[in-house]
Chain A
Amino acid sequence: DIQMTQSPSFVSASVGDRVTITCRASQGINNWLAWFQQKPGKAPKLLIYAASSLQSGVPSRFSGSGSGTDFTLTISSLQPEDFATYYCQQANSFPRTFGQGTKVEIK
């Protein structure tokens, strides 16, 4: 199985900050990576697919990059509604696997 490792596990940031979350795959997954946002008590929401494609309706302050084994999610200017937990997920092979999550909290 492909292991997905996110870092950091926890981010304390202020409104307006630039936030970067990384995700590393245990083997190459081309660009078959998605990023999800989850708020407490809610279902996850797709933000980014194919490593860098912005899902329709997602604000442009979210961006993704990377290919192969190393990927990044960047929030260019953190907004109050962005405080949530973020997960990466590989879609290269079965079983699909998620990173352990990165919680973004208010500083």
Chain B
Amino acid sequence: EVQLLESGGGLVQPGGSLRLSCAASGFTFSKHAMSWVRQAPGKGLEWVSVISANSGSTYYANSVKGRFAIFRDNSKNMLSLQMNSLRAEDTAVYYCAKQALAGPGWLDPWGQGTLVTVSS
């Protein structure tokens, strides 16, 4: 069974940094691209970033470009999101999601999410 377990969320002050992690199991992690998607409280879904299986390609939403960095460690089956210069509008539940091998990489499944709150 595929399992994705996010961690690292919490309360951080504006301008601060936080690193999220996503521990993967139940599939060959090194073969799949992985994504982060977030959801602000009471709002819709916002795609954040994607990293290819071999870390050769990364893409970011315009709202986080230059502040967030996605990376992975295939030896540890771990996906990470380094978030710097955090703003109040980054407050959200952050989900990691596995991308299918076929097609453009459909997001399935998703982890349970970790809450990031940016506030003074």
Contact = CB atoms under 8 A, between A and B. Distances in A.
Interface of A: 1, 32, 34, 36, 38, 42-46, 49-50, 55, 87, 89, 91-92, 94-101
Interface in B89-120: 95, 100, 103-113
15 contacts: A32-B103, A32-B104, A38-B45, A43-B109, A43-B112, A44-B107, A49-B106, A49-B108, A87-B45, A89-B107, A91-B103, A91-B106, A98-B45, A98-B46, A101-B45
Contacts of A99: 44
A95 B60 contact: yes
Nearest to B45: A98
Give chain A's interface secondary structure class: loop
B44 A46 contact: no
Contact of B95 (A44, A46, A94): A44
A43 B46 CA distance: 13
Secondary structure at the B interface, as helix, strand, loop or mixed, is strand
Interface of B: 35, 37, 44-47, 50, 59-62, 95, 100, 103-113
Contacts of B110: 43-45
Contacts of B109: 43, 45-46
A61 B106 CA distance: 21
Contacts of A91: 103-106
